[in-house]
Structure 1
Amino acid sequence: MAGRKLHLVALSPDEAAAAWLARHDASPQAAEDPDFVAWLDESDTHRQAWSRAQRLWEDAAHPVADDPLLSALRAEALAARPDPWPRMAIAACLVAIIGGGFLAWRLHGPPDSETSGRRIAAVDPTARYGAADLVSAKGARLVTQLPDGTRLELDTDSAVDLAFTGRERRLRLVRGQAFVTVAADPRRPFALDVADQTIVDRGTAFAARLDPAGVRVTLVQGRVAVGPSGAPPRYDLAPGQRLTLKPGRPGVVEAVDTDQALAWRQGFIEFSDTPLGEAVAEMNRYGGPTLTVRDPHTAGLKISGRFKLGDAERFVRTTSALLPIHATRVAGGLELRAGAEASEPAG
């Protein structure tokens, strides 16, 4: 077989089997490689290790092609294999091909707990999905740096769950909106799970939003691939594009002004010919008096402008000056109604 010679002297039989399995997955002609045949014939231990690797491959829950994150991990491992293969590259191929930490534990013991030089405890709650690890309060934003150096910004009333291991980096957006500037780490691909979609990072800064209306992904720089969790990606975004996914509808990719779309990162929100009902719903996400619009015609009036987050009363004063509406205080907040506000009768 053409290609680099595979050096196995420093590897255990199981590690060597994993390396050959990676070669076989990349090229069926690897079975005819004289080095592989010689290694296999060398001892019963080698043949048993090869059988174990094949058996675990066949028992895998799904093939690597069906998981975009594992596909990325496998591609990185196979593309960056030096001579001789380092143990971490073997382990990376192994996890990528078979599809999870279970095989890594079976062949090598517990997965490596090193995360960018920082050792985490074996029971670290961020190593798997569970309860939300980071939460922002309503009306507040949260900016933090994750253990790998990734910068995470949470919009109001948002939550994410972390699942970082020595093999991969995953986040799950539980609710709300997040902006992620991903730290480079070729050995550990990064993915963000949002509802039933997975966003695979390819060196990016991007935003994702999850609400009852669906999922939105906005790319600022780099590339991301998006697709149903456990399936190949369906969408590849370029900087300045936004993908909108609504239940029961095909995805829509459109060009957007990212500064406008992500103005919340600067403490503002921008509307451009936005129906008043939608604008009110957005303002309510950031706290302050609850705004309501009951009349459908009034809710359909269009509003444009840049507004400070959390300042609902200033929003009402501005829209009342721009549109034929007025605000009336009701229990719990303000209702926007059609027409000018009635003047007080003369005394």
Structure 2
Amino acid sequence: MKDAYKAPSEPKAGSADEAAASWWMARETGHNFDPDGFQAWLTQDAENAAAWARVQAIWQGFGDHRAAPELAEARLQARHWARAEGQRQRAGLATRRGLIAAGLGVLGVAVAAPLLLKPKTSFAQSFATGVGEQRALSLPDGSRVTLDANSALSVRFDRKARHVAMTHGRAYFEVAHNADLPFRVVARQDVVTALGTAFSVELRNQKVSVTLMEGRVSVGRVGADGHIDTLAQLSPLQKIVLSGDAAPSVSSIDAAHDFAWRDGRIYFDDEPLASAAARMNDYSATRINVVGKATGIRVSGMFSAGQSEAFAEAVAAYYPVSLRRGDHSLTIGPRG
């Protein structure tokens, strides 16, 4: 088993992940850990905070198994490495990369975790965002999730698969490849299965949309017998829309438009005004209400997330509707 603790390939020199591994190992072993210096580094750059979160997620992902013999041995080795590095420093022989490699060696057990540990309990956690809030998540397997505003999902990993259940809203997944553990996202009774790829899933008004950026995903539906019946396999830059018993609709997408929400922009393509307003409401405390025949007007264009006033004014300027302002609300209705 000892060979499993060799340090993984080092990340790019000077990267935030490299620094985070170094800080983690210093704090864990008590070797040359400077709390003030750590806080200064952590708040210096958003990427530093994200890298530290990834390091924490790796360790926290072991849950009750942190005391497992394999991990305990790895931590003991880290302390031995730290003491050896300290002796080399006093002799003028130590290198910063040596200390970092020691930290990465301990964190490297996460890469070999499926071989080292057979957990009895699953990793499980729920995440949610409020109006106007987006959140970047790092999962214990190395996958990353961008959770859109006003969205929620729960994550559960076990020895057979990685499970994500969408409650509502939208999320973008960058899945770490693991052929032995498929990554499944469930939205209502629809299931997206991936091994290593990037895609988004949106659940809104009982309609599920899956948009593939790169890689390949299988989209299916859970049948009465509990098995997943495959509906389609998407290729990059394809989108599938599933709504009740209606036939699935597959189409090509423009990545600059369909993934614009990740950059704070919302793109509408011939969408009913009521639906477009509902999307805008995810990003602003100023609520847009659409009433009467105005709900059926179809709109196209790109708008900045959170700019409800600008959106409502643009609609009022180009379409035969009226705009009424209230306390934290905008009402769009038929003119006259």
Give the TM-score category using the shorter length: 0.5 to 0.7
Equivalenced residue count is 222
Compared CA separation, residues 187 and 231, structure 1 to 2 (3 A)? closer
The 10-residue stretch of structure 1 (239-248 or 278-287) with the greater mean CA deviation from structure 2: 278-287
Assess if the C-alpha contact under 8 Å between 2:151 and 2:170 holds in 1: yes
Alignment partner, residue 35 of structure 1:
none
- How big is the shift at 1:122? 5.4
RMSD: 2.4
- How big is the shift at 1:316? 1.5
Compared CA separation, residues 184 and 122, structure 1 to 2 (3 A)? closer
- Aligned residue for 2:123, secondary structure, equals helix
Alignment partner, residue 317 of structure 2:
321
Instruction: Render the CA deviation track for 1:38-85: whole Å, top value 9, x for unaligned.
Output: xxxxxxxxxxxxxxxxxxxxxxxxxxxxxxxxxxxxxxxxxxxxxxxx
Alignment partner, residue 335 of structure 1:
331
**What is the correspondence of 1:163-202 to structure 2 with a 5 Å cutoff?**
163-202=156-195
Q: What residue ranges of structure 2 are gaps of 5+ in the alignment? A: 1-108
- How big is the shift at 1:200? 1.0
Aligned-partner residue type, residue 169 of structure 2: G
Alignment partner, residue 248 of structure 1:
245
- How big is the shift at 1:243? 0.8
Q: Could you tell me how far apart the structure 1 residues matched to 2:278 and 2:250 are?
A: 23
Assess if the C-alpha contact under 8 Å between 2:215 and 2:235 holds in 1: yes
Which of 186, 202, 218 is the equivalent residue of 1:225?
218
Alignment partner, residue 304 of structure 1:
300
Assess if the C-alpha contact under 8 Å between 2:178 and 2:196 holds in 1: no
Q: Could you tell me how far apart the structure 2 residues matched to 1:258 and 1:214 are?
A: 20
Alignment partner, residue 30 of structure 1:
none
Which of 272, 276, 284 is the equivalent residue of 1:275?
272
Q: Which has the larger radius of gyration?
A: 1
Assess if the C-alpha contact under 8 Å between 1:156 and 1:285 holds in 2: yes
- How big is the shift at 1:294? 1.2
- How big is the shift at 1:216? 0.8
Aligned-partner residue type, residue 266 of structure 2: I
- Percent same amino acid at aligned positions? 29
Q: Could you tell me how far apart the structure 2 residues matched to 1:207 and 1:307 are?
A: 20
Compared CA separation, residues 329 and 204, structure 1 to 2 (3 A)? same
Q: Could you tell me how far apart the structure 1 residues matched to 2:158 and 2:287 are?
A: 42
Q: Could you tell me how far apart the structure 2 residues matched to 1:122 and 1:284 are?
A: 42
TM-score, normalising length: structure 2: 0.60
Q: Could you tell me how far apart the structure 2 residues matched to 1:194 and 1:295 are?
A: 31
Q: What residue ranges of structure 1 are gaps of 5+ in the alignment? A: 1-113, 341-347
Alignment partner, residue 290 of structure 2:
293
Alignment partner, residue 20 of structure 1:
none
Compared CA separation, residues 124 and 236, structure 1 to 2 (3 A)? same
Assess if the C-alpha contact under 8 Å between 1:126 and 1:133 holds in 2: no
Q: Could you tell me how far apart the structure 2 residues matched to 1:188 and 1:202 are?
A: 7
Alignment partner, residue 216 of structure 1:
209
Instruction: Render the CA deviation track for 1:218-248: whole Å, top value 9, x for unaligned.
Output: 1111110011132232211111111111112
**What is the correspondence of 1:11-160 to structure 2 with a 5 Å cutoff?**
116-117=111-112, 126-127=123-124, 133-160=126-153
TM-score, normalising length: structure 1: 0.59
- How big is the shift at 1:300? 2.6
Compared CA separation, residues 120 and 211, structure 1 to 2 (3 A)? farther
Compared CA separation, residues 261 and 331, structure 1 to 2 (3 A)? same
Instruction: Render the CA deviation track for 1:179-205: whole Å, top value 9, x for unaligned.
Output: 101111223222112211211104311
Aligned-partner residue type, residue 116 of structure 1: V
Compared CA separation, residues 167 and 116, structure 1 to 2 (3 A)? farther
Aligned-partner residue type, residue 285 of structure 2: G
Q: Could you tell me how far apart the structure 1 residues matched to 2:311 and 2:117 are?
A: 46
Q: Could you tell me how far apart the structure 1 residues matched to 2:196 and 2:268 are?
A: 30
Which of 241, 262, 268 is the equivalent residue of 2:259?
262
Q: Could you tell me how far apart the structure 2 residues matched to 1:120 and 1:320 are?
A: 60
Assess if the C-alpha contact under 8 Å between 1:136 and 1:142 holds in 2: yes
Aligned-partner residue type, residue 281 of structure 2: N
- How big is the shift at 1:331? 5.5
- Aligned residue for 2:178, secondary structure, equals coil
